[in-house]
Structures are given as structure tokens and as C-alpha cells.
Amino acid sequence: MMTQDQTRRRFLLATGTLAAAELGFDAHAQELPPTPACHDGDEPTVRQTEGPFFKPRSPERSDLIESGSRGATVELTGLVLTRRCQPLAGALIDLWQADDKGDYDNSGFRFRGHQFTDANGRYRFRTIKPARYTGRARHFHVKVQPSGGRILTTQLYFPGEAGNRRDPLFRSELLMNVAQAGNGEAARFDFVLDIR
């Protein structure tokens, strides 16, 4: 005859909640994407195609929300790191994205901007959640360049999007860590450049 504890254990195994409980996090936390973490000798951030909508010479700014902008606010923050997890100051980050209708501004610079990481390797953008467009999951485009170094071109994705599975470009390594923050979302992604 099973003890009460064994019964409970068997029940938990059947419902799949025991593993989460034993690992010390709750079922909600388990649904969140893994927190980007840097380990010594970490693999550099995966490169992705630039796509057809990059424009050089975007304005230097961290706030891409202009008067009349629509769409949920996203505060995107993170670090630019070397493969030894050292923060890189003065690295360029250029971000471009679709608007709330899935369109890119190809005549001006709406939802385009660049900035440089601070002394602690941090960057921060305030923008909107881009809409999906035909054939693509929701994403940001970015270029990251250390001072005088090679450009990393890639794209960042939102967790929990049905469109991710249908987008052949999607890579789970490029998922941001996203949490609700007020009326919008706080997104986090740390870039690891191929620098020792």
C-alpha cells in the first residue's frame, strides 16, 4: 500500500508538475524563456540575415516612440559582452523594425535608431512591439558593432508567439526574455560578440 506521500508523488508525476516543483520554480516561471546568460567562452550571438529594409545613418537615439506612434510599448535593454562576459563600452547598436501594421518606414526613420553602450556595456531602447508581417514572426532587426570591430547582424524574437514555429528564420537562441511591465513589456537580450 502506498503512503500518502507516494500517492501525491505519483499524482504530481502524472500531471508533470513535480519536476518543476523539485527544481524550485513554479509552473509559470517554467513557461518563461531561459534567461540569457553569459559563461566564459560562451558562443557568440547567432547571426541572421539583414533583410531588405535596413537603412544606414539612422538617428542616434534610444527612444523610438514619436508622437502619433501606436502599439504596445517595449523597453528593450541588455548588455553587449565579449565571449569572456566582459561588458563592451561604446559598442554601436542599430535597431530597425516594423510598425504596428507590419510596415517599415523606407522613406524616413520611424522605428529606426542607433546608440552606443554605456561604460557598463548597457544599452536601452524604448519602442513599440512590431506587428508581424507576411511570412515572418514578430521580430526586431539589430546590428551590433564593437568600436572598430566586425558587425554582428541579427534579429530578436518574442517568446510564446505561434508565428515563431512557422518562420524558417526563427532561432530560439534569439528569443528575448520578455515580462509585462505596466501597460507594456520589458524585454531583455544580451549580445555576445565574437571577441575574447
CA–CA gap between residue 95 and residue 179 (Å, rounded): 20
Q: How many CA atoms lie within 13 A of 145 on its CB side?
A: 11
Torsion-angle region of 28 (φ positive above 0: left; ψ -120 to 50: alpha; else: beta): alpha
Site for Fe ion in 117-146 (CB under 5 A): none
Shortest distance, position 163 Cβ to Fe ion, whole Å: 12
- CB closer to Fe ion, 33 vs 51: 51
Site for Fe ion in 27-56 (CB under 5 A): 51
Shortest distance, position 51 Cβ to Fe ion, whole Å: 5
- CB closer to Fe ion, 111 vs 123: 111
- CB closer to Fe ion, 75 vs 103: 103
Torsion-angle region of 62 (φ positive above 0: left; ψ -120 to 50: alpha; else: beta): alpha
Determine which helix (DSSP H) or strand (DSSP E) holds 165, and give its type and residue range.
Answer: helix 162-166
- CB closer to Fe ion, 52 vs 182: 52
- CB closer to Fe ion, 51 vs 163: 51
CA–CA gap between residue 2 and residue 41 (Å, rounded): 48
What's the full length of the chain, in residues? 196
Shortest distance, position 52 Cβ to Fe ion, whole Å: 8
Residue closest to Fe ion (Cβ):
51
Shortest distance, position 75 Cβ to Fe ion, whole Å: 20
Residue the block writes with cell 528564420: 169
CA–CA gap between residue 16 and residue 11 (Å, rounded): 9
Shortest distance, position 157 Cβ to Fe ion, whole Å: 11
- CB closer to Fe ion, 86 vs 153: 153
Shortest distance, position 34 Cβ to Fe ion, whole Å: 24
Number of amino acids touching Fe ion (CB under 5 A) = 1
Determine which helix (DSSP H) or strand (DSSP E) holds 125, and give its type and residue range.
Answer: strand 122-128
Task: List contacts with Fe ion (CB under 5 A).
Answer: 51
